[in-house]
Amino acid sequence: MVIQDKEKFLIDEENTIETALFKIENNNHRCLIVLNANKKVVGTISDGDIRKALLKHRLLSTPIKEVMNNNFIWLNKDSIDKAKEIFNNLHIFIIPIIDDKNNLEEIIDCY
């Protein structure tokens, strides 16, 4: 399903872990898509990524870019039909649909 309110699922790489926690709590999907200053998709951050960072004694004030997953799952418009299989096999909750320049086109979720 395509997510209509993308803003709930986006965070700037300069934002903090604390900000990410608040956004994740409010979107109920356990994950955010990370954008750089040019609004390009550069990674994802999940509640699990944050938990790992906190266990490594990272502070809540740590920028997302230091703890995000930059080896993330994404699709382009031509491969969107693979989404269901990815959701089922990898147990993730959202997938960014990006173009060849890492511009975000859509976000799909598993619901």
Q: What pLDDT was estimated at residue 76?
A: 95
Please state, for a pLDDT cut of 70, what percent of the chain lies above it.
100
pLDDT band at 111 (very low <50, low <70, confident <90, very high): confident
What pLDDT, in 10s, does the model give residues 61-86? 999 999 999 999 999 999 999 999 99
Q: Is the pLDDT assigned to residue 110 strictly greater than 90?
A: no
C-alpha to C-alpha distance for 105 and 77, rounded to whole angstroms: 8
Please state, for a pLDDT cut of 90, what percent of the chain lies above it.
90
Domains and CATH numbers, the chain: 6-109 (3.10.580.10)
Residue range 26-34: mean pLDDT, rounded? 94
